[in-house]
Structure 1
Amino acid sequence: MDRYKKLASNTFTFAIGTFSSKILVFLMLPLYTRVLSSAEYGKVDLIVQTCNILIPIVSAGILNAVIRFGLENNTNKKSVFSIGLLTILLGFAVLLILEPILQSIEFISEYTRYIYFFVLMSSLHSLCSNFIRSQEYVRLYAFDGVLRTIMTIIMNIVFLVVLRYGVAGYLLATILSDLISAVMLFFVAKLYKYISLSNINKSIFISMLRYSLPLIPTTISTWIINMSDRYILSYILGSEANGLYAISYKVPTIITIVAGIFMDAWQISAINEHQKGDRGSFFSKVLNVYSSLIFCGASVIITFTKVITKILTSPGFYSSWIYIPVLVMATIFASLASFLGSIYMIHKKSEYILLTTAISAIVNIILNFSLIPVYGIQGAAIATLLSYICMLTIRAISTRKFMSISWNIGKLIINMSVIFTQSIVMLLEVKNWFLYEIVMMLVIALVNIKVLLAGAKRIIQ
């Protein structure tokens, strides 16, 4: 299959599985808010965030290495999967020893056992899911996404609506959904054939750990960029301000979801093309199309920010629209930086991912404390934007060591200028602002239509 068609086909297939799970967040929100009190929902959020931090630590970041090394043609696949499984089990054993620490944390102490099962099941499911993705079983990967979504809905109804288990029910629903999906993948993909301690290669083990260990602080740094502003907002301005900011963050997530689906498919194509000796031509063409899609999507969201906010939120949260344009711009830079991060991945330079993410996290924290007291909630949005601009700039410079990417600078400047102008017009609510927004949205479309049509033509031909 032509490489452009393969990338498009994989992206579409991943979209089937990923969209179902991402949409689940929006579909289940009314259920959660009806059966859980605000205190219970707040506790659930803190527990899940705790688990999200524990998972990469317990797994030693090996889940990312499973994809990277599993995609290599000359790597022993039994060794890759066995190393992943062994690392998770050893990490989980260490976590068991640390139970007294978890018990000492007040808001999670009574749910420690659930946290253990949550972390273990999520890690095992991710191992199976990432490995089948590395073997390019994209349809099975998509089916797993749909199955897990269905099971999560069923389990939530059973444990929250029927049995009324509250916080424990929410956690049980997630744990069992991961368990069922992991078991399905394990037997359908016959992953048991890849378990062999005798096939564990010491050099591969060391290489995988060398690649994955820097990704642990990378994950923590990414978490800081995405979550620190919420904690700082709550500390300085209170929970109500954080609530408005959290709601405003949901709309730009549309771009993040689409970009994430593409990146799942892109990882496969990027490594395959790198193994064939591609030195930037394919990457540059794909980046051109990818950036055009991101800018077009961003322009549409900014134009209809008020409409989207009115549809998705209650009247009490409508004022959150004013933070969306800045967060949309932040998402653009984050998506482009994520694409450049794939260059580090294929060259196994995870330390560069760590360095660029850590610098951006530090910038984010400093700017949050500096801007929030002056500009309020908008200060948090601006801090997020500037931190991702910092990340993209550093990665654009440092990736030149590994691959020459051809940026269409003229088109990039026009796109960013128009998007920035759209945001300013929206925020100032100038007279006839909607007319100006429509015109600028059409300008973005005209600037990018040629690239998008050329990309579609490659796929069709």
Structure 2
Amino acid sequence: MSSYKLIKDIGIVGLSQVLSSLGSFLLLPIITKTLGSYDYGIWAQISITVSLLSPVAVLGLSMGIVRFLSGEQDLQRVRETFYSVLFIVSFAGVIISTMLYFASDFLAQTIFGDPTTSYFVKCGSFLVLLLAVDQIVLFYFRIFQKINTFAILTILKSIGHLIVTIFLLYLGFGLLSIIISLVLIQSTLFIISMYFIISDIGFSLPRFQGIEDILRYSLPLTPNSVIRWVTDSSDRYMITYFIGLSPAGIYSASYGIGNLVTFIITPLQFILFPELSRLYNRGKHAEAAVYINTSLKYFLYAAIPASFGLAFLSKPLLVIITTPEFASGSTVIPFVAASGLLAGVFQILINITHLVKRTKFNLFIQVFAASLNVILNLFLIPLYGIVGAAIATFASYLLMVLICAQVSFKYLRPDIDWVFISKCVLSSFIMCSFLFFLNSDDLFSLVRNVIFGALVYVASTLVLKSFNQQEQTMFKHALTKIKQKL
């Protein structure tokens, strides 16, 4: 893949993620200001329950089709594999959604601590099915580099969810507005996606030919999603158990803001893994290592200042976009932002174990991190509340990165540029020193300070000569081509 196409594709996916994040970001203040911390806490619990079960329904097959279909030219094999996987995931999604529906009374009584929430759990139960099949169809566009289609669908999903939720809230549907909106948007997204896919490859009933190899690769990844959920989301359950739904809502809102750092990795990872699979399958291992190193470098260039900025502006950011009731969550954001940075590093490095088909190491890493997370939460939440949960998350991700590097570097070792990373950290400190003298009392001043901080950071990295001459030439060449296209 040429540097121009790589930068262009990452730019398109990145732009779609920015607009998608903007939709989610705008939805947060609307929901928190309309519903309050208690109802937002209920939605947060439903959301993390669905986020636990939908990856189980996927059975690791999303990564399987990326690994096995990347670069595949045989249309019949593509069609057979895709529809076989889609059928299996749909079947698993129906079963798990049905189980969640009938378990709603028990969950409302035990996990949510409020029997009246059972109705909302029932309404949201089939989101498990919708999110599972949505992941498979969107991965089709990822595999075959249909970046524009993916970007449009991603934006439509986020903006559509925002508009429909606002409309339903206006009509007085309350908490149910979020659930109904998501069901409608996910269903519409699936129908549109299938229209494009059928137009590309046609349609045929699955015969499950050759699916054994993909299942053998993918099924060991299924526990990873559950264990990863323990690291990412189980703290909401424990917060609810120890200190209630309102603190869980405050923590979830703060976590959502701090976790914005992880959106930076999405465009990189979207392009990276299919490209790495193609290179590795062709025996170009050294070139694959260069791609990993470059992706890590560019991710950290954006993620380090984002983490510093979110930590520095955490309190005004939370107060402005939510209500004073949520202000106590500002102490959570620095830990979550740092965790998001570590999560991005982990996602890049873990690609190595997928390339060499050593997916059992993923399970090993996830189990260690999840176990530490649970143990720390049990001790820290009763002592320090939601801050204790944030500390536990940070410690778990730090462990994941350290173990992942130790394991994956045995197979493929990228050349990490520590001098570059140091310059990014120094530039972030310079950025924050300027922000210290600026007020962020309202939305306008906050946006102004974010833009000013970004400019100071970029200027600092240029003064420090963070990028070498070859990289500067590559960027200039790519930008020139983009301008010519425009």
What TM-score do you get using the length of structure 1 for normalisation? 0.83
Mean Cα displacement is larger for which, 211-220 or 129-138? 211-220
| CA 132–393 in structure 1, closer or farther in 2 if over 3 Å, else same | same
Counterpart of 2:28?
29
Counterpart of 1:14?
13
CA RMSD in angstroms comes to 3.6
Counterpart of 2:79?
78
Secondary structure of 1:200's counterpart equals: coil
Counterpart of 1:94?
95
1:221 aligns with 2:237: no
Equivalenced residue count is 448
Matches within 5 A, 1:115-154: 115-154=124-163
Q: Deviations over 1:209-266 (max 9, x none)?
A: 2232233221122221122333333444455554543343233222111222322222
Matches within 5 A, 1:15-414: 15-33=14-32, 36=35, 39-73=38-72, 76-95=77-96, 98=99, 100-102=102-104, 104-106=106-108, 109-110=118-119, 114-162=123-171, 164-190=172-198, 193-197=201-205, 200-202=208-210, 205-239=211-245, 241-276=247-282, 277-279=284-286, 280-412=289-421
| CA 293–447 in structure 1, closer or farther in 2 if over 3 Å, else same | farther
Structure 1 residue 433 displacement after superposition: 10
For 1:69 and 1:85, how far apart are their aligned partners in 2? Answer: 15
Q: Deviations over 1:247-297 (max 9, x none)?
A: 432332221112223222222332233234132123223322322332233
Counterpart of 1:429?
none
Structure 1 residue 11 displacement after superposition: 1.4
For 2:316 and 2:135, how far apart are their aligned partners in 1? Answer: 37
1:445 to 461, 468, 471: 461
Mean Cα displacement is larger for which, 319-328 or 191-200? 191-200
The runs of 5 or more residues in structure 2 that have no matched partner are: 109-114, 438-452, 478-486
Structure 2 residue identity aligned to 1:336: V
| CA 380–416 in structure 1, closer or farther in 2 if over 3 Å, else same | farther
For 2:408 and 2:467, how far apart are their aligned partners in 1? Answer: 23
| CA 48–371 in structure 1, closer or farther in 2 if over 3 Å, else same | closer
For 1:399 and 1:187, how far apart are their aligned partners in 2? Answer: 39
Q: Deviations over 1:118-153 (max 9, x none)?
A: 223322322221112211111001111122234323
Mean Cα displacement is larger for which, 301-310 or 409-418? 409-418
| CA 128–150 in structure 1, closer or farther in 2 if over 3 Å, else same | same
Q: Deviations over 1:370-404 (max 9, x none)?
A: 33445544333322222111111111111123212
Structure 1 residue 416 displacement after superposition: 6.4
Secondary structure of 1:257's counterpart equals: helix
Structure 1 residue 30 displacement after superposition: 4.0
Q: Deviations over 1:84-141 (max 9, x none)?
A: 1121233145337646444644456435664454223322322221112211111001
| CA 33–331 in structure 1, closer or farther in 2 if over 3 Å, else same | closer
For 2:121 and 2:257, how far apart are their aligned partners in 1? Answer: 33
Structure 2 residue identity aligned to 1:68: R
Asked if 1 retains the 8 angstrom alpha-carbon contact of 2:260 and 2:340, the reply is no
For 2:309 and 2:185, how far apart are their aligned partners in 1? Answer: 35
Mean Cα displacement is larger for which, 348-357 or 153-162? 153-162
| CA 118–198 in structure 1, closer or farther in 2 if over 3 Å, else same | closer
For 2:97 and 2:240, how far apart are their aligned partners in 1? Answer: 32
Structure 2 residue identity aligned to 1:23: L
For 2:161 and 2:343, how far apart are their aligned partners in 1? Answer: 29
Secondary structure of 2:145's counterpart equals: coil
For 1:102 and 1:250, how far apart are their aligned partners in 2? Answer: 25
1:457 to 464, 473, 482: 473
Mean Cα displacement is larger for which, 133-142 or 77-86? 77-86
| CA 372–153 in structure 1, closer or farther in 2 if over 3 Å, else same | closer
| CA 305–453 in structure 1, closer or farther in 2 if over 3 Å, else same | farther
Structure 1 residue 169 displacement after superposition: 3.9
| CA 38–406 in structure 1, closer or farther in 2 if over 3 Å, else same | closer
Asked if 1 retains the 8 angstrom alpha-carbon contact of 2:60 and 2:222, the reply is yes
The runs of 5 or more residues in structure 1 that have no matched partner are: 427-431
For 1:160 and 1:309, how far apart are their aligned partners in 2? Answer: 22
What TM-score do you get using the length of structure 2 for normalisation? 0.79
Counterpart of 1:434?
436
Structure 1 residue 25 displacement after superposition: 2.0
Mean Cα displacement is larger for which, 39-48 or 350-359? 39-48
Asked if 2 retains the 8 angstrom alpha-carbon contact of 1:134 and 1:268, the reply is yes
Structure 1 residue 184 displacement after superposition: 1.3
Asked if 2 retains the 8 angstrom alpha-carbon contact of 1:296 and 1:445, the reply is no
| CA 53–357 in structure 1, closer or farther in 2 if over 3 Å, else same | same
Same amino acid, percent of matched pairs: 22
Secondary structure of 2:413's counterpart equals: coil
| CA 293–386 in structure 1, closer or farther in 2 if over 3 Å, else same | same
